[in-house]
């Protein structure tokens, strides 16, 4: 029975995205919810509609709401996700300041943690687990918001993160996480048909923040330590790409004496694209390859010993450090915009 529900949830979420996205594009054009080229960071030839996040939201919650009984944690994800989606829509309409947007991210994060989704490391006191959970969710919401700078980038990374979480949840017999991660995987897969270069629709802040909240929640809700006590580190490894990009642009902006809260072309993907003269599709494909390697490490760590987890983690940190230093030599333009 569970297998049938999983198949139905995947098919429903995928079809809702495939047939709903063209409708969302029409709505965005009608109400002028568009990302207009500015010659700095926004270099697409024509205005591209937002609203992709709204379709992903409905494609994600529909199979879950129809096929699965609600639990406290599930309601927490849906409630908190609804808040960041609405706040993101207002932000896409340029109706919010960064401070107000962050305030509602804090509210959504609090609701999520209150529902019981939090880091649970036995060697740490409960209050510290709660604080770490709070920081984690806020960080991942903004990490996906920051990494959404290229056609197909955020959606592709999030999709492979969800596939990884789905595989781990199957081995843990956690059906709630399985159906949530699979539904979001299907929604993102359908969305990529329209978001791959050249993108016909964008996630917008509504979509990137919603995806960040859900993926961030699933990574700390999932149990990686069934066979390996140190494998809880895998929660960070599966999201290493967006975490790296967020820290990378913040460090570079601070070194350049710029505000880390304003956008600039310091993202590693943009530097990689310029370094080798790649198209957006080829750049995202390289990032996907990195993400798939990280996902493989996470799955391997699930079954192996603590020493393997420690070694692979050190190697991954070392790789990203060298990768960042290498790309920092690429000279970028000074285009700046508010995130």
Confidence of residue 338 (pLDDT cuts 50, 70, 90): very low
Nearest Cα neighbor of 85 from 105, 65, 68 is: 105
Note the pLDDT tens digit of each residue in 199-227.
Answer: 999 998 999 999 999 999 999 999 888 88
- Is residue 168 within 8 A of residue 300, CB to CB? The reply is no
Q: Is the pLDDT confidence value at 177 over 80?
A: yes
Q: Is the pLDDT confidence value at 337 over 50?
A: no
Q: Which domain holds residue 37?
A: 2-338
Q: Is the pLDDT confidence value at 336 over 60?
A: no
User: Considering the chain, what percentage of its residues have pLDDT values greater than 70?
Assistant: 93
Nearest Cα neighbor of 284 from 163, 166, 158 is: 158
Q: How many other CB atoms sit within 10 Å of the CB of residue 46?
A: 9
122 by Cβ neighbours in 10 Å (0-12 / 13-18 / 19+) ranks as exposed
CA dihedral for 133, 298, 295, 20, sign (positive or negative): negative
Two tokens at 281? 């599709």
3 state DSSP class of 263: strand
- Is residue 88 within 8 A of residue 204, CB to CB? The reply is yes
Q: Is the pLDDT confidence value at 115 over 70?
A: yes
Nearest Cα neighbor of 169 from 214, 218, 120 is: 218
At what angle are helices 240-255 and 153-171 packed, to 10 degrees?
Answer: 140
Note the pLDDT tens digit of each residue in 66-94.
Answer: 887 888 899 999 999 999 999 999 888 88
Q: How many domains does the structure of the chain reveal?
A: 1
- Is residue 297 within 8 A of residue 316, CB to CB? The reply is yes
Note the pLDDT tens digit of each residue in 130-141.
Answer: 999 999 999 999
DSSP assignment of 200-251 equals SS--HHHHHHHHHHHHHHHHHHS---SS-TTGGGHHHHTTHHHHHHHHHHHH
Q: Within a 13 Å sphere around the CA of 292, how many CA atoms are in the beta-carbon half?
A: 7
Q: Is the pLDDT confidence value at 231 over 90?
A: no
């Amino acid at each position: 029975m569970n297998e049938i529900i999983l198949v139905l949830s995947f098919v429903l979420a995928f079809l809702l995205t495939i047939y709903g996205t063209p409708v969302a594009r029409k709505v965005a054009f009608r109400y002028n919810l568009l990302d207009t080229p500015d010659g700095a960071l926004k270099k697409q030839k024509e205005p591209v509609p937002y609203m992709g996040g709204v379709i992903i939201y409905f494609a994600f919650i529909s199979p879950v709401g129809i096929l699965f009984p609600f639990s406290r944690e599930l309601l927490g994800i849906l409630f908190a996700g609804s808040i960041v989606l609405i706040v993101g829509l207002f932000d896409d309409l340029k109706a919010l300041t960064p401070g107000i947007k962050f305030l509602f991210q804090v509210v959504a994060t609090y609701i999520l943690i209150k529902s019981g989704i939090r880091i649970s490391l036995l060697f740490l006191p409960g209050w510290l687990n709660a604080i770490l959970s709070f920081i984690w969710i806020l960080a991942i919401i903004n990490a996906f918001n920051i990494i959404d700078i290229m056609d197909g980038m955020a959606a592709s990374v999030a999709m492979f993160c969800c596939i990884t979480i789905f595989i781990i949840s199957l081995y843990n017999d956690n059906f709630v996480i399985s159906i949530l991660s699979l539904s979001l995987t299907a929604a993102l897969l359908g969305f990529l048909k329209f978001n791959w270069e050249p993108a016909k629709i964008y996630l917008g802040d509504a979509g990137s923040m919603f995806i960040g909240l859900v993926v961030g929640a699933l990574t700390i809700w999932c149990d990686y330590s069934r066979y390996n006590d140190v494998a809880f580190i895998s929660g960070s490894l599966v999201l290493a790409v967006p975490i790296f990009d967020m820290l990378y642009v913040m460090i570079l902006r601070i070194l350049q004496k710029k505000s880390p809260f304003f956008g600039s072309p310091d993202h590693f993907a943009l530097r990689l694209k310029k370094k080798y003269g790649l198209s957006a599709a080829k750049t995202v494909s390289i990032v996907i390859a990195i993400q798939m390697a990280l996902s493989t490490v996470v799955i391997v760590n699930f079954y192996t010993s603590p020493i393997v987890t420690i070694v692979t983690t050190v190697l991954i940190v070392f790789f990203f450090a060298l990768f960042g230093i290498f790309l920092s030599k690429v000279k970028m333009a000074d285009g700046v915009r508010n995130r």
